[in-house]
């Protein structure tokens, strides 16, 4: 029935996928595709090719792919802020930066308590304009995805950039390697992946779920929401109904917010991240190692990329 390799593990997943769609391979030739971000006004997708030190651009109108920025400071994750500006996690810059409307680059955060950040990995913007990001060491572990260097912080935290003051505060400090993150549609919950098993034997390869405080800036809880098998949860997004569409070793896994694994979209390469795009936000873009894929689903991204 399904032309794409779709595994229905829970009957509810049938309502989230189509029976007659194909997994499209839009581009290949990357070394490690990551950081997809969609710009509705221009109908294009940007994504990182981290080891190749470049950002690529897929034009949804004509299907062309071009180099958007090279060198890119080995950017990894991206998001769009409330004013439509590109926010980038830079491995080589060891910072979170913003591309202004005039094209100039502004560093938003590169130090915490006087110490250089490790290598920001993924970011999300809340409706109040705050930017939340993870800071594991993947970009300084070797020269492959950035410049090898020491961790000055000595740990890998989740941070929040305050929209008014620009100050940086750690909001979660008990991760091994925090990675992808996404808010639930009403922003009452924050999901954060931990890919610590890359560095610690039997370490975490799960997504944790936090409650966002009524102040909108503090977290509580943090229980394990889902554990990845096979591979690791890297980047992920929530759709408008709160389902979690996440990268995994064998494709994209979709979770109900009750924690049930509803189903999978099998992808022939390891997936690092996903992003909803398309005019109706129902096209799921998939960064799969060397390639960019897409598939239409019966789910929609929230109006602002998160
Ligand atoms: Mg990541």
3-state secondary structure of 164: coil
88 alpha carbon to ligand 1 midpoint, in Å? 12
77 alpha carbon to ligand 1 midpoint, in Å? 6
pLDDT of residue 192 exceeding 80: yes
Peptide bond into 230 cis (omega under 30): yes
Percentage with pLDDT > 70 across the chain? 98
In tens, the pLDDT along 273-293 reads 999 999 999 999 999 999 999
Q: What is the pLDDT of residue 1?
A: 59
- 153's tokens: 């912080």
Report long-range pairs for 270-273 (Cβ below 8 Å, ≥24 apart): 270/231, 271/234, 271/247, 272/32, 272/33, 272/34, 272/234, 272/235, 272/247, 273/33, 273/34, 273/35, 273/36, 273/47, 273/77, 273/122, 273/180, 273/234, 273/235, 273/236, 273/247
121 alpha carbon to ligand 1 midpoint, in Å? 5
Prediction pTM value:
0.97
35 alpha carbon to ligand 1 midpoint, in Å? 7
In tens, the pLDDT along 211-262 reads 999 999 999 999 999 999 999 999 999 999 999 999 999 999 999 999 999 9
156 alpha carbon to ligand 1 midpoint, in Å? 13
Q: Which domains does the chain have, with CATH numbers?
A: 6-296 (2.120.10.30)
Closest CA to 288 of 17, 8, 26: 26
163 alpha carbon to ligand 1 midpoint, in Å? 23
For residue 302, what pLDDT band results from cuts at 50, 70 and 90? confident
Contact 76, 50 (CB under 8 A): yes
194 alpha carbon to ligand 1 midpoint, in Å? 10
20 alpha carbon to ligand 1 midpoint, in Å? 30
272 alpha carbon to ligand 1 midpoint, in Å? 7
């Amino acid at each position: 029935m399904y032309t794409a390799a779709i595994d229905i593990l829970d009957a509810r997943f049938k309502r989230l996928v189509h029976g007659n769609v194909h997994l499209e391979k839009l581009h290949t030739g990357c070394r490690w595709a990551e950081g997809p971000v969609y710009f509705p006004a221009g109908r294009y997708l940007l994504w990182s090719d981290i080891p190749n030190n470049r950002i690529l651009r897929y034009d949804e109108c004509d299907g062309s792919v071009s180099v958007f920025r090279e060198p890119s400071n080995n950017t990894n994750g991206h998001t769009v802020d409330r004013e439509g500006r590109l926010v980038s996690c830079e491995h080589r810059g060891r910072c979170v930066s913003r591309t202004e409307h005039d094209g100039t680059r502004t560093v938003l955060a590169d130090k915490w308590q006087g110490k250089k950040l490790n290598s920001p990995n993924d970011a999300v913007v809340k409706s109040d304009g705050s930017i939340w990001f993870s800071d594991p060491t993947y970009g300084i572990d070797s020269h492959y995805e950035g410049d090898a260097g020491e961790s000055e912080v000595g740990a890998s935290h989740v941070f929040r950039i305050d929209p008014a003051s620009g100050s940086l505060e750690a909001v979660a400090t008990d991760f091994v390697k925090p990675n992808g993150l996404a808010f639930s549609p009403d922003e009452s919950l924050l999901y954060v992946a931990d890919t610590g098993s890359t560095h610690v034997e039997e370490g975490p390869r799960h997504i944790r779920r936090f409650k966002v405080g009524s102040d909108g800036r503090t977290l509580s809880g943090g229980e394990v929401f889902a554990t990845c098998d096979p591979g690791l949860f890297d980047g992920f997004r929530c759709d408008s109904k709160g389902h979690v569409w996440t990268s995994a070793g064998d494709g994209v896994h979709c979770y109900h917010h009750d924690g049930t694994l509803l189903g999978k979209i099998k992808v022939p390469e390891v997936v690092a991240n996903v992003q909803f795009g398309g005019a109706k936000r129902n096209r799921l873009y998939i960064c799969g190692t060397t390639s960019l894929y897409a598939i239409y689903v019966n789910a929609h991204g929230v109006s602002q990329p998160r």
